[in-house]
Amino acid sequence: MRIFTRSYPFLLLFLLLAHLGFAELKHGGVAGVVRTSEGKPAAYVSVTLVEANKGGMTTEDGSFQIRGVEEGTYTLRVSYVGLQTQEKTVTVTGGQITRVDFTLAESAAQLSEVVVAGYAGLSKPVAFGKADIRPLDLPQSVGIVNSTVIADQQVLRLGDAIRNVSGVSLTQQRQGIAETFTSRGFSIGIGGSGGSIFKNGVISNTQGFPDASTLESIEVLKGSAALLYGNVSGGLVINMVTKKPKFDWGGEVSMRVGSYDLYKPTIDVYGPISKNLAFRVVGTYEKANSFRDVVNSERVYVNPSLVYKLGQKTEILVQADYLKSDLVPDNGIGALNGGQEAVIPDIPRSRFINAVWAYNNTEQLSGSVTVNHRFNDQWKINLIASTQKTQVDGYGLGVPNNVAGNGDFTRTLSAAKTSELNYTTQLNLNGNVSTGFLHHQLLVGADVVKIESESNTFKFTAANGAVGTGYDKINILDPAKFEARTDVPTRAVVEQTTSPNYRFGAYVQDMITVSDKFKVLAGLRWSYQNVYRTTIFNNETQQEREGANPSKADRAFSPKAALIYQPVQNMSFYASYANNFTVNSGTDINFQQLDPSIVDQYEVGAKSEFLNGKLTTSLSVYRYVNSNLAQQAQFRADGTSNTDPNVKELTGETTSDGFDIDIKGNVSQNFYFLVGYGYNYHRFTNTSELGTSMVEGERLINNPAHTANGSVFYTFDQSFLKGIKLGVSAFYTGERNGGLNNTVDQKAKSFSRLIPLSGFTTLDLSAGYSFRKVSLLAKISNITNELNYVVHDRYSINPIAPRQFMATVGYKF
């Protein structure tokens, strides 16, 4: 009886599929290929059977298939924003697939320009999704910032672009480096390759972001992506897509200038070397001061790439980039009262409290090879091999974590010299096959990542021979109170620590089309990662020893399942379950290493396209529950009270509820708009009675309750106004807390470790003019001169940028 009860749901599912299958035999279908005027595949073009209100999009090879069509005669329409619509009459016979091909009037280059000119709605699959599932079918919220938006908003840093994705906020930053983003209550970590920021599909060290002007698009997957990428943030993952070679000659040179002596020339050249080989080189130089006293930066970024077409079925893409970034690090303005209730000081936005000689120099070199091979119309394979080396050399003063209530700040020396080398290999096999009446969009893959990092500790010696980290005392409220030192103590490396770790994952995912209205997505990943014991080399004794912490191996399964319902071809509803895992430090009461915490995610959503893809909407509602949050154990194994914060138990809980909505309109090649809103409530929902546990119901830090964005751009194309472009963008970040979350025992001391931050809105205005191949675009950002803050850590409080001016003049050839 128990066996029957467990099998009952599967029996019902089998009967449902069988019923749908018999119904399918009474229907036919239409399939074909859409090509450009020179015979190349036309990808992501809309194909619709008008009378049946059925259709879809062509795949990368230009093919399409419409199933489940009743017998009869129909009008088959091929269309895309900015293209000439074509129609053919087609007769559908039950149990058969009718073949119809189309040739567009446009060339591949013209089609590419149409795609780049605006949003492709929910039509184009996200490359980051690995399986070519178009966003309308994907049971997950997706945000894409394309090159048009990046150019029109004159984006300089990743954080400037991410503001256009609903529910995502920049919560921490240091003058454009080590940016941290939060979505759905979960954060992307700072620095190194341990976070959730990728470049061209592979994990990337976030100390060296590519220059925004070299990006083709930025893809954001909100929600758990553990199935595809393993141990990543449960809130979001970001993929930066750099520009690729083209087989048509072209390019652009531009010069950007702005407030605080910003100068930024950029060159972009692409074209064919031979019939099967094309290149692209993008390079930019940037030099600028800052609204923050003393702070300045200088960056060089070069991104060459080659693509080789080996016959009709194989493409090899080789990419490389080099970044050199030198800047004065900014530690913010500090917070008064140190270990007590912190207060943001009332000082000028420009005040600088690091050493005037401080520096942070980053050098990064990366390269990758991507091979795409199509076996036939059903099967293709993708292989990516990449490597990246990042070196950071920084010297200055520590963050202001001990500022007294009267503004006195004892400054200490701080230095960093790190190197990280990572290797990534990724293999993905995609198949489009049918088993009976079921159609499968199958993904099978694996990835391997090796990361080896090296860090150093230093000994500091002043000119008078004094050894130690102490430097001087200043007053951040009254700089005249003390005389700040300007000498640079020598530093010598004492020890070098090498930390290797490895990650491996294998995954399978299947998008099953049950009928023209129902689809099911199911997948599973197994992840293994091993952080090996560090080795420490002492420069003074020339001896090597092992680190205190032993090697730690973690394993986790990451499933995902979803049901997608599409009542009509341009609308879908979905419900999904997925999880992600977070690695824990410390030990349990038996001094065994803690298992990862598993975070369960439940999500329902709706997506739609209107006006032939010109207007798209997306809504998702979610809940995350981490029911095994690691917190300090109340008792040891022998029953005595535990006072060691490294002895933990998986008994805590956090819950994150919320929703986000996006509306995007690409009304024409001259007019588009973006609107988004996100709400989140992430709090502690179960804590122990132990005095050092977290406070029940308290919101987690760096999570705004509300975020919103809106942008609209219009280019006149008639009368004497032809060529004029106008745009406005507004971004809102709601109330949130910086600092540290409170604990029960600390809360009883009558002060809070939280730093409340008010909500704020920034407004940007843009205007420009283009004539033939020349363009000019100007922008005034934060036009109301709003003052607010982002918090790098508890005490590194950074003011947002004031009102600024920026202009870019460009020439396309």
Lowest mean pLDDT among 85-89, 260-264, 778-782: 85-89
Q: Which residues contact 310 (CB under 8 A, 6 or more apart)?
A: 276, 316
The answer to whether 418 and 410 are in contact (CB under 8 A) is no
Token pair of 391 as six digits: 């070196």
- Please report the pLDDT score of residue 8 as a whole number: 45
Calculate mean pLDDT across residues 531-539. 91
Q: pLDDT for 618-628, tens place per residue?
A: 999 999 999 88
- Please report the pLDDT score of residue 795 as a whole number: 65
Calculate mean pLDDT across residues 800-806. 95
Element (H, E) at 148: helix 147-152
Distances (CA, A) of 520 to 55, 440, 517: 18, 10, 10
Element (H, E) at 252: strand 250-258
Distance separating alpha carbons of residues 510 and 442, to the nearest angstrom: 4
Token pair of 617 as six digits: 């909407």
Cβ atoms within 10 Å, residue 774: 12
Calculate mean pLDDT across residues 36-55. 78
- What is the share, in percent, of the chain residues with pLDDT greater than 70? 90
In this prediction, residue 303 has a pLDDT band, given cuts at 50, 70 and 90, of very high
Q: pLDDT for 710-729, tens place per residue?
A: 999 999 988 889 999 999 99
Distance separating alpha carbons of residues 589 and 388, to the nearest angstrom: 39
Q: Is 2 a residue whose pLDDT tops 70?
A: no
Closest C-alpha to 663, from 140, 143, 117:
143
b (16+ CB within 10 A) / e for 438-454: bbebbbbbbbebebebb
Token pair of 407 as six digits: 């503004």
In this prediction, residue 54 has a pLDDT band, given cuts at 50, 70 and 90, of confident
- Please report the pLDDT score of residue 173 as a whole number: 64
- DSSP type of residue 226: H
DSSP string, 158-222: HHHHHTTSTTEEEEEEETTEEEEEEETTEEPPSSTTSSSEEETTEE--TTSPPPGGGEEEEEEEE
CATH assignment of 2-107, among 2.60.40.1120, 2.30.38.10, 3.40.50.300, 1.10.1740.10 = 2.60.40.1120
Three-state DSSP at 805 gives strand
Calculate mean pLDDT across residues 673-694. 85
Q: Is 659 a residue whose pLDDT tops 60?
A: yes
Distances (CA, A) of 572 to 89, 311, 540, 792: 27, 38, 65, 39
Q: Which residues contact 348 (CB under 8 A, 6 or more apart)?
A: none
Distance separating alpha carbons of residues 475 and 479, to the nearest angstrom: 5
Q: Is 5 a residue whose pLDDT tops 70?
A: no
Cβ atoms within 10 Å, residue 695: 17
Calculate mean pLDDT across residues 174-183. 72
In this prediction, residue 124 has a pLDDT band, given cuts at 50, 70 and 90, of low
- Please report the pLDDT score of residue 7 as a whole number: 41
Residue 622 backbone dihedrals phi, psi, to 5 degrees: -140, 160
Q: What distance, in Å, lies between the first and last C-alpha atoms of the chain?
A: 75
Three-state DSSP at 673 gives strand
Provide the whole-model pTM: 0.87
- Please report the pLDDT score of residue 497 as a whole number: 95
Give the CATH fold of the 242-812 domain: Maltoporin; Chain A (2.40.170)
- Please report the pLDDT score of residue 338 as a whole number: 63
The domains of the chain are located at: 2-107, 127-241, 242-812
CATH assignment of 127-241, among 3.40.1160.10, 4.10.220.20, 2.170.130.10, 2.160.10.10 = 2.170.130.10
In this prediction, residue 602 has a pLDDT band, given cuts at 50, 70 and 90, of very high
Amino acid sitting at position 423:
Y
What is the CB-side half-sphere exposure of residue 711 using CA atoms within 13 A? 26
Closest C-alpha to 456, from 355, 400, 356, 540:
540
Q: Is 160 a residue whose pLDDT tops 80?
A: yes
Lowest mean pLDDT among 149-153, 311-315, 781-785: 311-315
The answer to whether 589 and 636 are in contact (CB under 8 A) is yes
Token pair of 776 as six digits: 């000019």
The answer to whether 352 and 294 are in contact (CB under 8 A) is yes
Element (H, E) at 115: helix 108-117
Task: Name, of 57-71, 228-242, 578-592, the range with top average pLDDT.
Answer: 228-242
The answer to whether 160 and 764 are in contact (CB under 8 A) is no
In this prediction, residue 23 has a pLDDT band, given cuts at 50, 70 and 90, of very low
Three-state DSSP at 229 gives helix
Q: pLDDT for 492-517, tens place per residue?
A: 999 999 999 999 999 999 999 998 88
- Please report the pLDDT score of residue 120 as a whole number: 45
Q: Which residues contact 721 (CB under 8 A, 6 or more apart)?
A: none
- Please report the pLDDT score of residue 117 as a whole number: 45
- Please report the pLDDT score of residue 728 as a whole number: 97
Lowest mean pLDDT among 16-20, 104-108, 784-788: 16-20
Q: Is 645 a residue whose pLDDT tops 80?
A: no
Mean pLDDT over each residue of the chain, to the nearest integer: 86
Q: Is 247 a residue whose pLDDT tops 80?
A: yes
Calculate mean pLDDT across residues 100-123. 62
Q: Is 707 a residue whose pLDDT tops 50?
A: yes
The answer to whether 28 and 94 are in contact (CB under 8 A) is yes
